A and B are shown apart, each in its own frame.
Chain A
């Protein structure tokens, strides 16, 4: 009985998991500072690779996803209690900084390391 009930409840979740390629993962993405409209300010580098996270979060948030306790509970709530509570979302987990060389409005030149500018891995939370 429990098994059949479980499969009913879990139906939408399996759709959520989707095919292997749709799993939550890091996608490389590059943009130029010219495209962002910041090339009058930023001298170097010319290209910026922020990357992004996209994909479905699995029904069971396994160890490798680094999901916090809250995400695991929210996943269970979505699954078992109330589907109006959304499942966890696929978002960046680790970031790395980027070094920029800038010209400020007053003509000063600035080297600066900006934290959390490049997504390096993803998590469900």
Chain B
């Protein structure tokens, strides 16, 4: 399943963390590399280059604040019919099942707050999807991030950690974060039927989940007392005679 080279895996494979991860997360070799292009990939490449050197060594001064960052693209993209100057997309982000090993430290949604469509500059924002609640807002923690950003001026990164923790994180079964991506035409402009399907929702909104590995272990080995080591090093033959 993992691909070449084929390795004869022992029966106790699930106890081998790296192999288990390969089996669970790696795409099958014959499927080829899943196509992820555009801004999300550029964003993650830049995040990688800031956090690790060309050989993959994590940088000492990295500011990522987590050992794992997952970029999640929306599953579905339902565009509502035009309502005056408003354009609304409903986006579903699948959240994988909880793993005890990883602790969610931060969640942000990244979106274009300026969108150029059919010669119009639209102003956009993201809000949680709640049925029959047009004025729904994120809680106070859903503010725009003030952290140094990898994003250009047209993009915004908004912290939604509390929203995910409170509403979704401890739910069992399939969990989906549903958001509304709302854009407004300029007030003075003529209302035109702008077509969303020219704009991939993946390229306008994505979710970033930051995790820390809670099972980091440093196995320390207690060594012989220094005096004994020095003694052995200085006169090993004497020690051997004494043992005999």
Which residues of A pack against B, CB within 8 Å?
A: 2-3, 5-6, 36-38, 40-41, 43-45, 47-49, 59-63, 66-69, 72, 76, 79-80, 96-115, 118
Q: Are B34 and A103 in contact (CB under 8 A)?
A: yes
Nearest-neighbor residue (CB-CB) of B68 within chain A = A112
Contact across chains for A105 and B44 when beta carbons are under 8 A apart: no
A63-B226, A105-B31, A111-B64 given; 7 more Cβ-contact pairs under 8 Å:
A6-B237, A37-B4, A41-B27, A45-B56, A66-B221, A105-B26, A114-B18
Contacts of B69 in A (CB 8 A): 110-112
Let me know if A38 and B56 touch, CB within 8 A: no
Shortest beta-carbon distance, A89 to chain B, in Å? Answer: 15
| Alpha-carbon gap, A109 to B72, bound state (A) | 7
Chain A nearest CB from B209 CB (Å) reads 9
In contact, B33 and A63 (Cβ under 8 angstroms): no
B70:A99 contact, CB within 8 angstroms: no
A-B contacts, 23 of them at CB < 8 A, read: A2-B241, A38-B26, A40-B27, A41-B33, A45-B52, A45-B54, A62-B229, A62-B233, A63-B233, A66-B223, A69-B223, A97-B57, A97-B58, A98-B56, A101-B44, A102-B26, A103-B27, A104-B25, A105-B26, A108-B72, A108-B73, A109-B44, A112-B69
- Would A105 and B68 be within 8 Å (CB), given that A2-B244, A72-B224 are in contact? no
Q: A107-B36, A110-B69 are in contact. Are A79 and B5 (CB under 8 A)?
A: no
Cα(A3)–Cα(B241), bound, Å: 8
- A107's nearest neighbour on chain B, judged by CB, is B34
Q: How far is the CA of A114 from the CA of B52 in the complex (A)?
A: 12
| A111-B48, A111-B68 as given contacts; A96 in contact with B57, CB under 8 Å | yes
Is A80 a contact partner of B240 (Cβ separation < 8 A)? yes
User: For residue B43, which residue of chain A has the nearest CB?
Assistant: A109
B51 within 8 A of A: yes
Knowing A38-B3, A45-B55, A101-B44, the reply to whether A6 touches B241 (Cβ < 8 A) is yes
Determine the chain B residues whose CB is within 8 A of the CB of A5 once the complex forms.
244
Query: Residues of B contacting A109 with CB < 8 Å?
Result: 36, 40-41, 44, 70-71
Q: Which 6 A-B pairs have the closest CB atoms?
A: A37-B4, A99-B52, A105-B27, A60-B236, A109-B71, A45-B56
Q: A2-B244, A105-B34 are in contact. Are A68 and B221 (CB under 8 A)?
A: yes
A-chain residues with CB within 8 Å of residue B54 when the two chains form the complex: 45
The interface residues of chain B lying within 8 Å CB-to-CB of A108 are: 70-73
